[in-house]
Chain A
């Protein structure tokens, strides 16, 4: 199918013999927000790290727009238009905000000023702080920077690893609002979250990962209503906004 941006087929990842991901298949279609939710150690991050080339898979394959990118290095994968917002933000603390953003566009040789304007449009705060070192920003601003940095690569698919990690609820809401905006502007998003409530609200489709396997899938709404998901990830009383 041509509108499939990402297709994962029976992906396996293991660390020194311990299987973290045990045969997972899913796909992401163009224009969607897809989220993977699951508890700590379920293997969510391993999946992302493998897709982006930071970890080599033990088996299975990854297709980006029909092209096999399994086991390719991250430079190649990024150049194909797949950018990641790493877990824990991982901005460059001693580089200025502007330099951080420029690193996001490192593999591009064309004019980046338009994208810079776009990122500043999403996050006006970053424009104010463009000469400040990344390490001096607050947690929320750092997350903005991490998202902005990934957007500078003009990704076809943006992957985010727990953007809500360690942020105040109000900040998290802001970030998710931006994710929605980015998506409606045409970027496909693959989101990994522990904050299942937030994630399921923005997602078109969702997969629940347990012990390295997909245990459930459906639209965001379906899973929000699901009793098992409610009990395991949302608490018995669901927090409606």
Chain B
């Protein structure tokens, strides 16, 4: 009963957060005089979008590394699969020749958005609906393709342990990247060039007939998708499957002795993690408005690994929190270090292009050295319990009065 109440209030918290994001996004439309920060072009929204995308990938990586104890570094590879699947499936047929001009058109003359457009109409509300539906199906397929490849690669690779697994998955991701850049596959992947023209986050902004934005939803959409996916992961972790994952992490031999099938559960965790990494990759493609293999390097995996470590291995809320801090620092708060700054007429020394990364690295080293457990360790912020506490306290103070 208590548990149910808590998950219900946690759900409400998420809903409130989502509404707040919509409100924040449209603040400038309601009050044109708001500070620069709340304008649609502000870095605030870039950070929010990117962090929403990254938090999903970070949580999916945490499911594997933190909850199942499988040290895998293939996340960028699965994101790449997701990004390309999404992009190829949603580029409108009319755009294909333009996008694939180097290869004289795409071998894959099909677009989910157009297909649904054919059913529900491509203008007005029908068009919007078919766009949303097309994107949704493409996102799910993006996850499915990543999950399928995870299954295939998992058969040989999941028999490896710790570092060996990390090396194998890292290698897999690199091979994938090379294959997707292969000119001979240009008809499908557009070679080393980017695929663009597919629906992005800003396609979800609602405009009226004359093209003026009525309601901005471009930040809300990644938040919504990420929160749904993370909720699913959290539910999984709290289920009996999640318990089996954690038992494998804690002690493989004991888990096996209790009848937990190691291979089956490792595979399950690997496929589910990759599924959400694939969805995350598709979201990333939407965020940067293009899909290009070059973006999904091992550096990206390390970035996500870093977020997971900073947040706390084995903590979902830690991963989410760390993502927002990390992305905000790297994209926004530390940006000023990259350009020359003057205090009065005094020129601050050292500040120049690239200095941000120096400071950033030092900050990360400090975190890893002094907070080796990460921000949260393996604890969670329990939104439900938090609200419980607050409401109880306020009731108590009411009684006192």
Contacts and interface: CB of A to CB of B under 8 A. Distances in A.
A90 B247 CA distance: 10
Interface stretch (B217-225, B257-265, B388-396): B257-265
A189 B306 CA distance: 48
B312 interface: no
Interface in B238-291: 240, 243-244, 246-247, 249-251, 253-261
B191 interface: no
A134 B243 CA distance: 14
A54 interface: yes
Interface in A137-171: 149-150, 153
Contact of B259 (A90, A91, A92, A153): A153
B378 interface: yes
B314 interface: yes
Interface in A29-70: 52-54
Contacts of B255: 92, 103
A90 B244 CA distance: 15
Contact of A103 (B243, B261, B314, B378): B243
Contacts of A134: 250
Contacts of B260: 75, 103, 106
Interface string B50-86: 0000000000000000000000000000000000000
A54 B253 CA distance: 8
A8 interface: no
Contacts of B259: 74-75, 77-79, 106-107, 153
A123 B189 CA distance: 62
Interface in B18-32: none
B243 A74 contact: no
Interface residues of A, number: 28
A79 B257 CA distance: 11
B180 to A, nearest CB: 38
Interface stretch (A93-101, A177-185, A217-225): A93-101
Interface in B299-341: 314
Contacts of B249: 94
Nearest to B242: A99
A190 interface: no
From DSSP, what is the main secondary structure of chain B's interface residues?
Answer: helix
A153 B260 CA distance: 12
Contacts of A227: none
B261 A92 contact: no
Given A73-B261, A75-B261, A153-B259, A91 B243 contact: no
Contacts of A91: 251, 254
Given A102-B243, A103-B243, A103-B244, A93 B250 contact: yes
B261 to A, nearest CB: 4
Contacts of B378: 94
Contacts of B250: 92-95, 134
A21 B371 CA distance: 48
Residue of B257, B260, B261 ringed by the most chain A CB atoms within 10 A: B257
B314 A94 contact: yes
A86 interface: yes
Given A74-B259, A75-B259, A90 B243 contact: no
Contacts of B257: 52, 54, 74, 78, 83-84, 86, 90
B258 A149 contact: yes
A90 B246 contact: no
Given A86-B253, A90-B253, A106-B240, A99 B246 contact: yes
A149 B254 CA distance: 11
A212 interface: no
A104 B255 CA distance: 9
A95 B247 contact: yes
Nearest to A77: B259
Interface in B347-378: 378
Given A94-B378, A95-B243, A103-B247, A78 B258 contact: yes
B246 A106 contact: no
Nearest to A105: B258
Contact of B244 (A74, A83, A106): A106
Given A73-B261, A103-B258, A106-B260, A90 B240 contact: no
Given A83-B258, A91-B254, A103-B258, 8 more contacts: A78-B257, A86-B257, A90-B257, A92-B254, A93-B250, A94-B249, A103-B243, A106-B258
5 contacts: A53-B256, A79-B259, A94-B249, A103-B247, A106-B244
Interface of B: 240, 243-244, 246-247, 249-251, 253-261, 314, 378
User: Which 7 residue pairs of A and B lie closest in terms of their CB atoms, listed nearest first?
Assistant: A78-B259, A90-B254, A92-B250, A107-B259, A75-B261, A84-B257, A103-B247
